[in-house]
Amino acid sequence: GGSASPGKAASPLEASPVPGGLAGFADVVARLAELREVTLQVDAERYIRPGLMQPGHFTCELVDGAPANLLARLKAFLERETDLDWTVEQVRSTAETVHAAEIRTREEKFAAAAEHPAIAAALKSLPGATIVEVTDPLPENVINLSNRRKKA
């Protein structure tokens, strides 16, 4: 259901506001990072395949190796942040964990870089050479200050 002014019917397409601004699992992970809840953040990123998230209700699947108390810790965090009672339940999910998505994205970047003609030629001509880092190019109107030389 949506929210509406008194005396005015709510539009069925109007979403109700989410307390604490946690509209999805990405918001939860971002809030954990912001609050430096490192252990819970790392566990959530590594072991939770997120499902549906609505105010007071979160579904997910845990991958093998997840700490036994992970869902209880996540539930307590959600309740602290939103002042709502939360139900956190396990269901089957086809979603990736945050950690798995990061690995997949990194591998896709490396594969795309290796297919570039200049890089493919360099890798072929230098036996044993590997790609160690792939960075996204900076927009043309941005100056990268991290590479400035320090004055002696």
Per-residue pLDDT of the chain (152 residues; tens, 9 = 90+): 444 444 444 444 444 556 778 889 999 999 999 999 999 999 999 999 999 999 999 999 999 999 999 999 999 999 999 999 999 999 998 899 999 888 888 888 888 888 888 888 888 888 888 888 888 776 776 666 666 655 55
Distance CA 56, CA 40 (A): 19
Residue with tokens 């397409």: 13
Residue type, 121: A
Q: In what order do the strands lie in the sheet with 48-54?
A: 48-54, 57-62, 87-90
What is the pTM assigned to this prediction?
Answer: 0.66
